[in-house]
Amino acid sequence: MKQLFYFFIIIIITSFTMVGQQSQPNFYCGYDDVIKINELLFPGYKTNVDQSFRYAEAMSSFHYRNTDVLKVKVVIHVVYKTEMENLNDTIIQNQMEVLNKAFRLQNENRTEIRDIFKDIQSDAGIEFELQEVIRVKTNANFALTLTGLPDAVKQNSRGGSDAINPENFLNIWVCRIQPIPFIGGQILGYAYPPSGLANWPEGTAAPSQNLDGVVIDFRVFGSNNPNILTVNGQSHDAQGRTTVHEVGHYLGLRHIWGDGGGIFGGNSCAEDDGMADTPNQGAQSPGGCNKSANTCIDQQNDKPDMIENYMDYSGEVCQNTFTKDQVNLMRSVLMNQRSTLVSAYSIDIEKSWTVYPNPTTDQIFIKNELWSIGNRVLLKNVTGAVVLEAMVSGNLIQMDISQLSQGLYFLEYHNQGKTSIQKIIIHD
Ligand SMILES: [Zn+2]
């Protein structure tokens, strides 16, 4: 059985190789790999992703045309081997700006869209807030291999960095992704699509929830990144829109040409991205900004390939748009399969933790729902002096207060500029 598995994997890799000798772009996204490899690892995965997509699509058509801004908190893991890979905060802030501009249609190049697509260009009404940056030095390499995706980057035990509350936070890992074996092409990033009607229900074919999120190569993160990714003499012009594209996948979008065609299946005008307002497109754009490309000539309402769309493979400089239907789908996913992201944002930190026993004599337990690992909780006396502190290491924190004299104390937790305080009484 295992041999059969490797056989299929080798077929996948070989299909890269064969297409690679024809017109394989040097740079691409690993979304197809996510679907194909996970279908082998977890039979039924593709059906589950498809069903999940259809559900979000159906819900998007009548329920979620409201205009509320949906907010998502983001945890960024910088997993680096060299200092060059340890991207500084300026680049991380820049990437957050590019992401927010794209999802609020505030990107400077939004007006460069051709007239034919102007009426479908849409503000997604989704905003991202940086919750935490985690930096991990590693000796590991992260590569698409014969046994799977570079998910080691998401696991402490394999030289990566464990996800933080993936139900509540969008986790983004930034690392050096190794070139694809044999052909040397480069995955810029990949993301897991939403899968399952509830969030990863038990018994559903899916990789485990702690692998959920987005992975981006460090050379294409942000638009002010001094690192340049060059493959086969071709440099990738990074504008921070690889992350926009991958977050699009994470929120349910497919490639604009339909994921069945393109790299694995050649041109296919019969394959569709499921969006009514995107033009029919038979293959990915091969980078660049070719405005005359038209891979599917339709009988009615023919339109050129939409190189302006974030879900194409056009050059990042010419990408500027999500369409109305794409926006409705992403918002539907945020109200359904990924609704815990939005509810986490709006959670009241006052109500997100409890302390027991209280009054107490020798120890207290602090139970919290969404505190960020590494943040601190402080115990102060009535004069405001810190008498004890503890690092948040999980959902339950224990504090030994047996050395403290009896009286009134205050537990303080600070996060995102907000402070939450609870009274503690210690008695003999
Ligand atoms: Zn993609």
Measured in whole angstroms, the distance separating CA 280 from the mean position of its chain's CA atoms is 26
Token code pair at residue 222: 């942000």
Q: How far is the CA of 157 from the centre of ligand 1 (A)?
A: 28
CA of 321 to the centre of ligand 1 (A): 15
Do 333 and 375 reside in the same domain of the chain?
no
User: Ligand 1 centre and the CA of 285: distance in Å?
Assistant: 12
Residue 175 CA to ligand 1 center (angstroms) comes to 17
pLDDT > 70 fraction of the chain, expressed in percent and rounded: 84
Residues 175 and 74 grouped into a single domain: yes
Ligand 1 centroid–CA 297 distance in Å is 23
Output the CA 10–ligand 1 centroid distance in Å: 22
145 CA from centroid of ligand 1 (Å): 19
Residue 33 C-alpha to ligand 1 middle, in angstroms?
10
Residues 383 and 403 in one domain: yes
Query: Distance, CA 190 to ligand 1 centroid (Å)?
Result: 7
Domain tally, the chain? 2
Boundaries of domain holding 373: 348-426
CA distance 125 to 106: 11
- Side chain identity, residue 66: N
For residue 336, give the nearest of 122, 63, 27 by alpha carbon: 63
If pLDDT is split at 50, 70 and 90, which confidence band does 2 have? very low
Q: Which pLDDT score, from 0 to 100, does residue 197 have?
A: 44
Give the count of beta carbons closer than 10 Å to the beta carbon of residue 325.
20
**SS3 at position 18:** helix
pLDDT value of position 345: 67
- Separation of CA 31 and ligand 1 centre (Å): 5
> Between the CA of residue 236 and those of 128, 131, 310, what are the distances in Å?
25, 29, 16
Strands 418-426 and 407-415: antiparallel
Confidence bin at 10 (pLDDT 50/70/90): very low
369 and 297: one domain? Answer: no
| 300 vs 16, higher pLDDT | 300
- Indicate if 329 and 353 belong to the same structural domain: no
Could you tell me the distance, in angstroms and rounded to a whole number, from the CA of residue 34 to the centre of ligand 1?
Answer: 10
Distance of CA 28 from the midpoint of ligand 1 (Å)? 7
What is the mean predicted confidence (pLDDT) over 42-62? 82
Boundary-marking domain end, from 296, 327, 345: 345
Residues 413 and 338 placed together within one structural domain of the fold: no
Query: What letter represents residue 357's amino acid?
Result: P
pLDDT digits (tens, 9 = 90+) for 138-197: 999 999 876 688 999 999 999 999 999 998 899 999 999 999 877 778 999 999 998 864
Please give the distance, rounded to the nearest whole angstrom, from the Cα atom of residue 255 to the centre of ligand 1.
Answer: 6
pLDDT tens per residue across span 390-420: 988 878 899 999 999 998 899 988 766 667 8
* pLDDT surpassing 70 at residue 118: yes
- Cα 169 to averaged position of ligand 1 atoms, centre (Å): 21
Q: Please state the φ and ψ torsions of residue 193, each to the nearest 5 degrees.
A: -75, 160
Q: What is the DSSP letter of 169?
A: E
Q: How far is the CA of 372 from the centre of ligand 1 (A)?
A: 30
- Single residue among 322, 345, 368 that ends a domain in this structure: 345
Total number of residues shown for the chain: 428
Distance 345 CA to ligand 1 centre (A): 26
Give the Å distance between the CA of 39 and the centre of ligand 1.
17
Confidence label for 347 from pLDDT (cuts 50, 70 and 90)? low
Q: Are residues 51 and 150 in the same domain?
A: yes
In this structure, are 362 and 327 located in the same domain? no
Query: With 80 as the cut, is the pLDDT of residue 90 above it?
Result: yes
Mean pLDDT of all residues belonging to the chain: 85
Q: Are residues 74 and 110 in the same domain?
A: yes
Ligand 1 centre distance from Cα of residue 370 (Å): 30
Residue 37 C-alpha to ligand 1 middle, in angstroms?
A: 15
Domain end residue (candidates: 345, 371, 404): 345
* pLDDT per position as a tens digit, 268-283: 788 888 899 999 988 8
Confidence of residue 3 (pLDDT cuts 50, 70, 90): very low
Tell me, what CATH number does 144's domain have?
3.40.390.10
How far is the C-alpha of 4 from the C-alpha of 205, rounded, in Å? 20
Q: In this structure, what CATH number is given to the domain that contains residue 383?
A: 2.60.40.3080
What's the rounded mean pLDDT across residues 106-126? 97
Q: Give 83's contacts (C-beta < 8 A, 6+ positions apart).
A: none
Ligand 1 mean position, distance from CA 213 (Å): 14
Residue 241 and residue 362 in one domain: no
Identify the band that residue 20 occupies on the pLDDT scale cut at 50, 70 and 90. very low
Residues 316 and 400 in one domain: no
Is there a single domain that holds both residue 232 and residue 337?
Answer: yes
CA 95 to ligand 1 center in whole angstroms: 18
| Cα 51 to middle of ligand 1, angstroms | 19
Instruction: Tell me how far apart the alpha carbons of residues 210 and 213 are, in angstroms, rounded to a whole number.
Output: 8
**Cα distance between residue 381 and residue 387, in whole Å:** 7
